[in-house]
Amino acid sequence: MANSSKAGAIKTRLATVADVPTVLGFIKSLADYEKLSHAVGASEDLLREHLFGPRPAAEVILAESDGVAVGFATFFQTFSTFVGRPGIWLEDILVLPEHRGRGVGRILIREVARVAFERDAGRLEWSVLDWNTPAIEFYRKIGAVAQDDWTTYRITGESLRRLVTGSRGREGREWGKSR
């Protein structure tokens, strides 16, 4: 998968298990950029297990310039009941700062879109932090439309455990039981 950009020839390829240290480095760089370094729990062992184990949870595309990784995109399959077809969720996309503005991000997102198209996905979706103006402008330029009528929810850690085990919430009542 070779593409040309303002930076010259950019090659993209699916990551392999040998790329785990590079992928983890990109994850940490993204967390730094998003001011979320404290939230990174990923390790090389976890990435090996969940990206390349018997049941891979996601895939990674690397962008390379002269054999050096300069960006990555992580994505996984979803399913839309309304569309009745699978979709692709773009979890992360990052281009190293010194390679931004050269078309590498466009090449990466185009590669993820190509995967979605080849797999007959009904949609390609992702989220972006509301303060990340450069990313928002880029997404608008490529034709993406914000889904402002949707709010993302997340449950993790102790709240997830309580939900699974049915333990009592803060008010001392069972989850799901009304007063």
Give catalytic residues, as residue numbers: 139
Decide if 54 contacts 2 (C-beta within 8 A): no
Please state, in angstroms and rounded to a whole number, the distance separating the CA atoms of residues 58 and 50. 7
Residue 28 burial (CB count, 10 A):
13
Decide if 66 contacts 103 (C-beta within 8 A): no
Please state, in angstroms and rounded to a whole number, the distance separating the CA atoms of residues 39 and 20. 19
Q: List 5's β-bridge partners, or say none.
A: 8
Please state, in angstroms and rounded to a whole number, the distance separating the CA atoms of residues 113 and 130. 23
Decide if 40 contacts 96 (C-beta within 8 A): no
